[in-house]
Amino acid sequence: MAGIASPIGVFDSGVGGISVLAALERTLPMEDFVYFGDTLHAPYGTKPEAEVLGYVREVMSHLMVRDVKAVVIACNTATSVAAARLREELTLPIIGMEPALKPAAEHRRGGAILVLATPMTLRLPKFQALYARYGEGAEPLPCPGLMDLVEQEDFAQAESYLQKLLQPYDLRQVDAVVLGCTHYVFLRPVLRRLLPDNTLILDGNAGTARQLARVLSKRKLLREAGAGSITLETSGSADAVLPQMRRLLALARTLETGEASFLPQTL
């Protein structure tokens, strides 16, 4: 039975959730994490809902064998499709993601909010409900194929993609850009070059890490001492994917630190 010393499971459709893993590690450095990237079935964001749910159940079965004490769904699409169902079926904490539209709305200065996400994330009821509450001035921008460029670490092509995506907008009138896919966090340096200095770039990673800490503390599952660890796993080719995961984890650790100066202290 899972206890305080048990690991925390983290998963995504590919390597994008590594950006969330870095935030979790930063907030809870004493915890052990098992990260599973379902790269064999990536991307989730362009697949039918039922297919995504099937893949999520397979990943959950894999993580449950690891005796995890909580699971973080480090994917906006998988959260929208599966989080509610998993919470009904399981007793362990299930922590999901959502686009950071609420903090973007709180810091809006009358300009636009651009929400970048996969087509499925924007289409599902979870985002529609969020948009209904905090969507004033916000424009959802589906980004098919952008996740794949991050998976391929093709940041030059991703920059071209984003330039075309943003070209119709007067960026001086954009207050915030919301990264509604965990893969897009790796494009922060690109977006920082493309956007005015006073445009916020927001994601849900830090908020997800804080929520995990709160839930573990409430359930008395928080590990308060010791050095944590990270185990990386994939459904794809370990020889190809694991080195990539290690590279992106190193990058994500620098992004977590480097972007903090652009965010209001109240977030």
Domain chopping of the chain, boundaries: 8-97+205-262, 101-202
Question: In this predicted structure, what is the pLDDT of residue 256?
Answer: 54
Q: From the candidates 15, 28, 75, 174, give the one annotated as an active-site residue.
A: 75
Interstrand relation of 94-95 and 200-202 (parallel, antiparallel or unpaired) = unpaired
Question: In this predicted structure, what is the pLDDT of residue 267?
Answer: 27
Q: Are 60 and 71 in contact (CB under 8 A)?
A: yes
Question: In this predicted structure, what is the pLDDT of residue 29?
Answer: 97
Q: From the candidates 81, 181, 209, 221, give the one annotated as an active-site residue.
A: 181
Question: In this predicted structure, what is the pLDDT of residue 46?
Answer: 87
Domain range 8-97+205-262, CATH architecture: 3-Layer(aba) Sandwich (3.40)
Instruction: Please indicate whether residue 143 is annotated as part of the active site.
Output: no
**For residue 185, with 0-12 CB atoms within 10 Å meaning exposed, 13-18 middle and 19 or more buried, which class applies?**
buried
* Topology agreement, domain 8-97+205-262 and domain 101-202: yes
- Write out the CATH class of domain 101-202: alpha beta
Q: Are 138 and 115 in contact (CB under 8 A)?
A: yes
Cite the beta strand spans of 48-169 per DSSP E.
70-73, 94-95, 112-117, 138-142
Q: State the alpha helices, DSSP H only, in 139-264.
A: 146-151, 155-166, 188-194, 205-218, 238-258
Q: Which residues of the chain have pLDDT under 70?
A: 256-267
Q: 33: alpha, beta or left, given left = phi > 0 and alpha = psi -120 to 50?
A: beta
Q: 110: alpha, beta or left, given left = phi > 0 and alpha = psi -120 to 50?
A: left
